[in-house]
Amino acid sequence: PELSRVGVMLVTSKAERDLKIEGLELGADDYVTMPFHPRELLARTRALIRTRVLSQQLEERGDSLARALAELGETQAQLVHREKMASLGQFVAGIAHELNNPLNFVQGNLHFLARHARSMLEAIARYEEMMRELGADTSRIDATRAELRLDDVGEDLDSLLEGCTEGIVRSTTLVADLKSFSRLDRPDASMANLLDGLRSTLSVLRDRLRGIDVQLELEELPLVECIAGQVNQVFMNLISNAADAVGESGVIRIRSGQVDDDHVFVEIEDDGCGIEPENLERLFEPFFTTKDVGHGTGLGLSISYGVISRHGGQLIVRSEPGEGAVFRVELPTRSSEERREALARGDVPAGLEDPVER
């Protein structure tokens, strides 16, 4: 292979046609038979070198074309991804908006509804008591109470109310997720200490992480210009996913450090179930989840991806099935003017890296 680019010219006294053909078929580029004039040999050598150089140039051109084609494919995939995210963003913003008002309405009314129902039960009880005090015959009242199972209503009311409240809380959390996915909430960026955010996220998740060995290998970081609430939400999503992946017990390692003078990283590694290759491709799609209904919305990673790319950073995943997963967030410490504006508008910037590390 090292010699494949060297031109070969057979210079020989064997002039028969068959031998010539055999020589050329064996890979010779030219065949000169004796006797020859030295100028002919020179001319043929020059021609041979010229074709070699040309073919080399052609090969290089082919390589750079192939590279350009690959880049084009990647850009196209990113554009499609961006379009998909943008139209989904609009769709989701609409749903979040429509759901928000009725949910607030139900949440507000639920409280009064329960209070009114309790007042009515109380009024009935007092009325019955009064009748007894007056020495009235209460047998019909008692029969009605038994028929309507009024004694159970008070107890039922509490558990019904608890169920409704739980449903409402789940729905409002979902709407909050949808709103942040569609970037309806956009506070300003400021200089933040990511490790403070990480630590407070861990303390919020304390109950969730019980039984899991959380190992911190944190290197102090410079302040990072970001929307701290959004970046914390990313940590929250990644750590809760890691907790889901390891189950009751397992190890989650959280590392931080500097990539270079202007970039920091936070890495969350778990030794959980890992991710199947076919799921890896779809991980960052909104609503992609492998969790049971009620346990996953499939929004966590798509929100996280949007947040980190709007900050000019990268969210990269590495995983083999059965061997855990590593999610790595890289962020620039300083925003450019352009990025600051994009962040304020909520744009997804161009040139996103493919988040899946193969």
Q: How many residues in the shown chain lie near ligand ADP by CB under 6 A?
A: 23
Q: Which is nearer to ligand ADP, 289 or 314 (CB)?
A: 289
The CA–CA distances, whole Å, from 44 to 7, 10, 35 equal 11, 11, 14
Give whichever of 304 and 333 is closer to ligand ADP, judged by the CB atom: 304
Q: How far is the CB of 164 from ligand ADP (least distance, A)?
A: 23
User: For residue 25, what is the enclosing H or E element?
Assistant: helix 17-25
Q: Which of residues 252-281 bind ligand ADP (CB under 6 A)?
A: 270, 272-275, 279
Q: How far is the CB of 201 from ligand ADP (least distance, A)?
A: 15
Cis amide linkage into residue 35, ω under 30° from 0: yes
Site for ligand ADP in 278-297 (CB under 6 A): 279, 283, 288-291, 296-297
Within 112-171, which residues bind ligand ADP (CB under 6 A)? none
At its nearest, how many Å lie between ligand ADP and the CB of residue 300? 3
In whole angstroms, how close is the CB of 180 to ligand ADP at the nearest point? 13
Cβ neighbours, 10 Å, residue 307: 25
315 binds ligand ADP (CB under 6 A): no
Least distance from ligand ADP to the Cβ atom of residue 190, Å: 26
- Nearest-Å Rg of the Cα atoms of the chain is 36
The conformation of residue 132, written as its DSSP 8-state character, comes to: H
Task: Give the residue from 178, 177, 171, 166 showing the smallest Cα distance to 240.
Answer: 177
Which residues inside 201-260 make contact with ligand ADP, applying CB under 6 A?
237, 241-242, 245
Q: Which of 96, 301, 329, 348 binds ligand ADP (CB under 6 A)?
A: 301
Are the C-beta atoms of residues 194 and 264 closer than 8 Å to each other? yes
Give the number of other Cβ atoms within 10 Å of residue 144's Cβ: 13
Give the shortest CB-203-to-ligand ADP separation in angstroms: 20
Contacts 24+ apart (CB under 8 A), 136-144: none
Query: Which tokens hold the place of 349?
Result: 């910037």
Distances (CA, A) of 280 to 80, 104, 274, 294, 317: 18, 37, 10, 22, 8
Residues in the site for ligand ADP, rule: CB under 6 A? Answer: 237, 241-242, 245, 270, 272-275, 279, 283, 288-291, 296-302, 325
